[in-house]
Structure 1
Amino acid sequence: MGIVRRQSTYSTIFTYIGFAIGAINTMILFPKFFSTEAFGLTRIMIEFSLFFSAFSTLGSLNALYKFNPFYKDFLPKGKNDLPYLTLMANLIGCVLFLIAALGFEPFWEKHFGHGSPLFVTHFRLVIPFTISYTFIMLLEAYCWVIKKTIITNIVKELFYRLTTTVFILLYILHWISLETFFTLFSYSYVPALLVLIYVIYKNGGLTICAKISRATQRLYKKILVFVTYHYSGMLIGVLPRTIDGLLIAGMTDQGLENLAIYSIPIYLASIMDGPFRSMVGITTTLIAEAWKNKDMAKIKELYQKTSINLLIIGLAIFGILLPNIDNLIRFNPAYGMAKAIFIVAGLAKIIDLGMGMNAQILVLSKYWKMDFYSSVIFIVVNIILDYFMILHFGVMGAAYGSAIALIFYNLIRFFYLWWLFNLQPFDRKTLYVLLIAAAAIFITWQVPFMGNLFLDAIIRSVIFGLLYGPAVLYFNISEDINAMYKGVVQKFLRKS
């Protein structure tokens, strides 16, 4: 876990710098200087682009992760044509997306015209946003296979948010109009894309070989079968991340306004995903190599350690945010339902993080079709639950539906891995960290309001940290976290 710990640590630092900038954009600048409808438009642009970018990859990225170790073994350096084939698949996917997006404009107008008319008039801005994000994903995949995950996290998580901040400031200073802001926002990923292209070019770690190799001639049938199943599963898997916003915008009156309010607590819950996003790049590569080498001990180690590490950090973030959620409502009463939405989404995310890298282990195994089948079940359950929950409970129903579906999905994959490989990520330390976090959150929540929002937030965060952090270290819940702590202390003592 040394390489995972090192790269994950650096990636997490930059990821959370990005989250901090994103929090300023999402929770302060957008609500203060933009109408709720205009803010909601930026959210639904992101929701659409997440799904359409997954469509545009044509399932090629996971084929790159799974089969690249075999290509490296079979082919001399410079003769690997898998990156080229992946590039061509993404170019074709973007052309197909462009045709579909323009061809279905009447459908979007009919579905969103009542609750979200602003989105209908700005729908074409989804096109540059989606295409640029598709190629960000492609270049990220290239960096993953050569184990250069830190730079991708810096560029992907940091540059996009900084670019958005710059565009917001230009609007606040009245240097650009609102329409110009929307146009520039649709190109927010372009600076990050250009930087990644430059970094990969300078690194020289990946050669684009257009000549079809003997490895492709031998493996193309397996690759096509894998891509066909996994592409469908990937589309199905990404839809739950977007279905809430699409249904809220399309089913409720004042859809964009409701989506804007809903996005605040969901953004807070997404902060808990930071460690996973930092860890998944290098861990996916190591899991693929372990499956190729049939190293079940390594897979078990990665499964258990990612589970406990993600759970510890996820609970730490949840424990800081939850006692402070009332300060968010005091800051802006329009976020009144934020607490309930965050509790539901946050608890589901804790379960998701505690399951570790179950998706990566399953999809890279010989039973990868199971991931497709479980994804099909997941999306059907998710759409049905979301539809009826929103119908009966409004915006809050979206949180209920997504949380139930996410928990159900993780349970399916948990039992698959337990049944197929006798793998499960939990031990008594899982229970210990849950009890420690629950006690720390309960005590922190009992602290009376200090009269000042920022002072209160600082005091609550410090109290939780002093209760939670030392207890996790004392009981040695995670060897990796304890090793990191000792390393930091030793460096500090040497400098002093």
Structure 2
Amino acid sequence: MGIVRRQSTYSTIFTYLGFAIGAINTIVLFPIFFSKEEFGLTRIMIEFSLFFSALSTLGSLSALYKFNPFYRDFLPKGKNDLPYLTLMVNILGSVLFLIAAIVFEPFLERKFGSNSPLFVVHYRLVIPFTISYTMLMMLEAYCWVIKRTIISNIVKELFYRLTTTILILLYVLHWVTLETFFVLFAYSYVPALLVLIYVIYKNGGLTIYARISRATKRLYKKILVFVTYHYSGLLIGVLPKTVDGILIAGLTDKGLENLAVYSIPVYLASIMDVPFRSMQGITTTLIAEAWKNKDIKKIRELYHKTSLNLLVLGLAIFGLLMPNLDNLVRFNPDYSMAKAIFIVAGLAKLIDLGMGMNAQILLLSKYWKMDFYSSVFFIVINIILDYFMIRTYGLMGAAYGSAIALIFYNMTRFSLLWWLFKLQPFDRKTLYTLLIAGTAIFVTCLIPFIGNLYADAVLRCATFALLYVPAVLYFNISEDITAMYKNIVQKILRKS
């Protein structure tokens, strides 16, 4: 786990920096300088682009993760044509999306015209947003397979949010109009794209070899079957983050305004995903190599350690945020539903994190068809639950629907891995982690409000951290986290 620990640590630092900038944009700048409807428009653009960019990849990125170890072992250096094939598929997917976006424009106007008219007016801005994000996902995948996950995470998580901040400031300073802001926002992934292209070119880590290799001739049937079955796999990563927002905008009165309110607690819950996003790149590569080598012991180790590390870190974030949600409402009364939505979304996310890299392990195994079937079932359940619950319970219905579907999805994956490989990630340290975090959160929530929301937030964060962190280190809950802490202390002592 050394390489996972090292690369995950660096990635996590920069990812948190990106999320901190994103939190300023989402919680402070957008609500202050934009109307709720204008803020909601930026959210729906993001929701649409995330979902349709996943469609536009046509499942090619999963094939790249799955089969690149075989290509690397069986082909001479510089003769790997899989990156080229991936590029061609993504270009094809983007062209198909462009055609579909134009053809179905009248349909979307009917569905969103009454509840979200501002989105209908700016609908075509979704096109450059989606295509640029599709290309960014592909370049990120290239970085993953050459194990350059740190720079890809820095660029993806940091550059887009910095670009958004700069665009907001340009609007606030009246250097651009509102309409110009929305147009520039649609191209906000382009700077990150250019940086990744430069980094990959500069490092010489990937060659686009355009001739069909003997590996492709040998494996193309397996690749096509894999992609055909697994096309839903990438959708699973983005669907829970997008379908509720799209349905809120389309089904509720004042859809974009409701989406703006809903996006605040959902963004806070997404911060809990940072450790997973930082760990995913390098761990996915290691899991693929372990399956290729039939190293079930390595798979078991990765499953257990990722589960425990993600749970420890996820609970740390949950414990810092949850006791401070009343302060969020004090900061802006429009967020009055934030606490309830965050608790539902946050608890579901904790279960998701506690299951570790279950999706990657099943996806990259020889039983990846099981992943396809469970993914399709999850998509259907998620959409049905969200549709009916949003119509019945509004914003809370979106939170309930997504949470139920995500928990059910993870329990299905957990059951399949136990049934097929006798793999499960839990031990007594899992229980200890839950007890420590639960106690620390309970004590922190007992603190009465001290009158100033900023001082109160600092007090609550400090209290939870002082209760949770020393206990995790004292009981050596995670060997990786303890080792990282000791390395930091040793570096500080050497410098002093």
Q: TM-score, normalised by structure 1?
A: 0.99
- In 1, Cα distance between equivalents of 2:294 and 2:426: 22
Give 5+ residue unaligned stretches, structure 1: none
Partner of 2:424: 424
* Preserved contact between residue 233 and residue 373 of structure 1 (Cα < 8 Å): no
Aligned-pair CA distance for 1:145: 0.3
Tell me, in whole angstroms, the C-alpha distance in 2 between the residues paired with 1:375 and 1:59.
13
Matches of 1:143 and 1:109 in 2, distance apart? 38
* Counterparts of 1:314 and 1:395, CA distance in 2: 24
- Which residue type is aligned with residue 178 of structure 2? L
Partner of 1:156: 156
Name the CA distance, whole Å, in 2 between partners of 1:275 and 1:161.
18
- 2:348: which partner in 1? 348
Counterpart residue number, 2:315: 315
| Partner residue, 2:442 | 442
TM-superposed deviation, 1:45: 0.3
Q: Which amino acid is the alignment partner of residue 480 of structure 1?
A: D
SS of aligned partner of 2:218: helix
Matched residue SS, 2:476: coil
- 8 Å CA contact retained: 2:325, 2:338: yes
- C-alpha displacement at 1:236, in angstroms? 5.3
Q: Which moved more, 1:262-271 or 1:55-64?
A: 55-64
- Report matched runs for 1:42-53 at 5 Å: 42-53=42-53
Are residue 66 (structure 1) and residue 66 (structure 2) matched?
yes
Report the equivalent of 1:397: 397
> Does 1:336 find its partner at 2:336?
yes
- Output the CA distance in 1 between the equivalents of 2:235 and 2:5: 30
**Cα separation, 1, equivalents of 2:429 and 2:466:** 19
In structure 1, what is the Cα distance between the partners aligned to 2:443 and 2:110? 51
Q: Match of 1:428, as an amino acid?
A: R
Separation in structure 2 between the aligned mates of residue 235 and residue 346 of structure 1, nearest angstrom: 21
Report what 1:139 is aligned to. 139
> For residues 91-110 of structure 1, what are the structure 2 equivalents within 5 Å?
91-110=91-110
1:126 to 2:126 alignment: yes
Question: How many angstroms apart in 1 are the aligned matches of 2:8 and 2:311?
Answer: 15
Partner of 1:252: 252
The 8 Å contact of residues 319 and 464 in structure 1, kept in 2 or not, is answered as: yes
CA contact (8 A) 1:272 1:349 kept: yes
Pairwise CA distance, 1:388: 1.5
Gaps of at least 5 residues in structure 2 are none
Shift of 1:99: 0.2
Secondary structure (helix, strand or coil) at the match of 2:58 reads coil
169-178 or 448-457: bigger deviation: 448-457
- Is 1:88 paired with 2:88? yes
- 2:225 and 2:419 mapped to 1: Cα distance? 24
Deviation at 1:381, TM superposition (A): 1.3
Counting only pairs closer than 5 Å after superposition, residues 474-485 of structure 1 correspond to structure 2 as 474-485=474-485
Give the distance between the partners of 2:88 and 2:408, measured in 1 at CA.
36
Q: Which residue of 1 aligns with 2:369?
A: 369
Give the CA deviation at 1:383. Answer: 1.3
- Paired residues of 1:4 and 1:282 also in contact (CA < 8 A): yes
Measured after TM superposition, the shift of residue 63 of structure 1 is: 0.3
**2:390/2:396 contact within 8 Å kept:** yes
Change (3 A) 1:149 1:451: same
Report matched runs for 1:12-51 at 5 Å. Answer: 12-51=12-51
Give 3-state SS (helix, strand or coil) of 2:367's partner: coil
Please tell me the residue identity of whatever aligns with 2:101: A
Give the whole-Å Cα distance in 1 for the aligned partners of 2:271 and 2:234: 22
Q: Is the 8 A contact 1:352 1:406 kept in 2?
A: yes
Distance (whole Å) between structure 2 residues aligned to residue 208 and residue 201 of structure 1: 11
Residue type of the alignment partner of 2:428 = R
User: 2:494 & 2:78 partners in 1: Cα distance?
Assistant: 44
- What is the letter of the counterpart of residue 392 of structure 1? T
Q: Contact 1:237–1:379 at 8 Å: present in 2 too?
A: no
* 2:474 alignment partner AA: Y
- Contact 2:146 2:206 survives alignment (8 Å): yes
Q: Is the 8 A contact 1:15 1:157 kept in 2?
A: yes
Q: AA paired with 1:251?
A: L
**Matched residues in 1 for 2:21 and 2:150: separation?**
18
Cα-Cα RMSD: 0.7
User: Equivalent residue for 2:113?
Assistant: 113
Query: Take 2:92 and 2:316, find their aligned partners in 1: how far apart are those partners?
Result: 43
**Deviation digits for residues 376-432 of structure 1, max 9, x if unmatched?**
111111111111111111111000010011000000000000000000000010000
SS of the equivalent of 2:187 reads: coil
Count of residues in correspondence between the two structures: 496
CA distance in 1: counterparts of 2:380 and 2:481, whole angstroms: 38
Amino acid at match of 1:24: I
Q: How far apart are the structure 2 equivalents of 1:356 and 1:313?
A: 12
Correspondence for 1:200: 200
Structure-2 separation of matches of 1:283 and 1:172: 41
Q: Answer whether contact 2:62 2:234 (CA < 8 A) is retained.
A: no
- Give the superposition deviation at 1:235: 3.2
Q: Per-residue CA shift, 1:144-179, capped at 9, x if unaligned?
A: 000000000110000000000000000001111110
**Partner residue, 2:468:** 468
- Aligned pairs for 1:204-219 (under 5 A) are 204-219=204-219
Q: Show CA shifts across 1:406-463 (max 9, x none).
A: 0000000000000000000000100000010000000001111121111111111000
Q: Does 1:458 align with 2:481?
A: no
Contact 1:272/1:317, CA 8 A, preserved across alignment: yes
Q: Which amino acid aligns with 2:213?
A: S
Percentage identity across paired residues of the two chains: 81
- Quote the offset at 1:237 in angstroms: 5.1
Give the structure 2 partner of residue 412 of structure 1.
412
Shift of 1:267: 0.1
Deviations 1:210-245 (A, max 9, x none): 010000000000000001111134335532321101
Q: The residue matched to 1:7 in structure 2 has which SS?
A: helix
In 2, Cα distance between the equivalents of 1:333 and 1:131?
36
Query: TM-score scaled by structure 2?
Result: 0.99
Q: Which SS does the other structure have where 1:115 is aligned?
A: coil
Separation in structure 1 between the aligned mates of residue 344 and residue 239 of structure 2, nearest angstrom:
19
Say if 2:50 and 2:238, in contact at 8 Å, map to a contact too.
Answer: yes
